A = this chain, B = another copy of it.
Amino acid sequence: MVEESSLDKFNRMNLLIDFYGQLLTERQRQVLSLYYEDNLSLGEIAADFSVSRQAIFDLLKRAEKLLEGYEEKLGLVNRWQQERAKLIDMVKDMEDTLRQRDWSKMEDLVQSFSKAIEEGRE
C-alpha cells in the first residue's frame, strides 16, 4: 500500500494535517495525530480507543483519503512547497554571493527576491 518511502509519507501526512486537519472530525484528527505525529502503532491506538486494530486502520485510511482529496482540490501544500523551494534557492544564491563579496550581484538577488514576493497572490 505504501509505495513512497515511509519517511516521505510521514512528512507528507504531517503537512496535510497541518494544512487541512481542521476540516476533519475531532476523532479523525486525534487518530491521525497519534499515528503520524506521536508515532504510535495501530495496535497502541486501538487499545487507547478500545476498538479493533482494523477499525483504526479503516479510520486512518479514510482520513488520509479526505486530506488527499482536499489537496487535490486546493493544491495549497503543493503551492507552499514550490514557493518554499524558490526561497531556498534564493538564499543559497545569496550565501554564494556573500562569499564572493559581490555587491552588484547581491543587488540583483535582492531585487529578484523583492519581485518574487510581489508576484505572489493578490
Contacts and interface: CB of A to CB of B under 8 A. Distances in A.
Interface of A: 11, 14-15, 18-20, 22-23, 70, 73-74, 76, 80, 84, 87-88, 91, 94-95, 98, 101, 103, 106-107, 110, 113-114, 117, 120-122
A99 to B, nearest CB: 10
B22 A121 contact: no
B98 A113 contact: no
Contact of A76 (B11, B76, B94, B103): B76
The complex is assembled from copies of this chain, and their number is 2
Contact of A95 (B18, B80, B84, B110): B110
B74 A121 contact: no
A32 B84 CA distance: 29
Given A23-B73, A106-B106, A110-B98, A11 B122 contact: yes
